[in-house]
Amino acid sequence: SSDLTQGPAVSVALGQTVRITCQGNSLRSFYASWYQQKPGQAPLLVIYDKDKRPSGIPDRFSASSSGNTASLTITGAQAEDEADYYCSSRDSNYNHVIFGGGTKLTVL
């Protein structure tokens, strides 16, 4: 099986832009989806199908991908964006799914 690697933590000043990255061989073949999880809550889908946002997700959330790296960008981070962020994709075993280890975002 494959792995998805995320940095453990990143911080951003209020109103600034931050990028959270996810690396893995599976991303050469499959698109990543991204999830936001706040303490004590279930994960929330923020990006799917390459770069789409579910209804209700602010347009400051965007995604891109190149080679083995997928990125989630928050343009103009808000205090409410402070959370853990997870990437996910199909595994090299097509019928399995993998998650990255998560990145904790702190908004200063």
Partner 1 sequence: QVQLVESGGGLGKPGGSLRLSCAASGFTFSNYYMAWIRQAPGKGLEWISHITDSGSGIYYADSVKGRFTISRDNAKNSLYLQMTSLRAEDTAVYYCARYDVSGWDSTWFDSWGQGTLVTVSS
Q: Which residues bind partner 1 (CB under 8 A)?
A: 1, 29-31, 33, 35, 37, 42-45, 48-50, 54, 86, 88-90, 94-102
Nearer to partner 1, 14 or 38 (CB): 38
Whole-number Å distance between alpha carbons of 26 and 5? 11
- Three-state DSSP class for 78? coil
CB of 1 to partner 1, least distance (A): 7
Nearer to partner 1, 77 or 86 (CB): 86
Nearer to partner 1, 65 or 76 (CB): 65
- Three-state DSSP class for 64? strand
CB of 30 to partner 1, least distance (A): 5
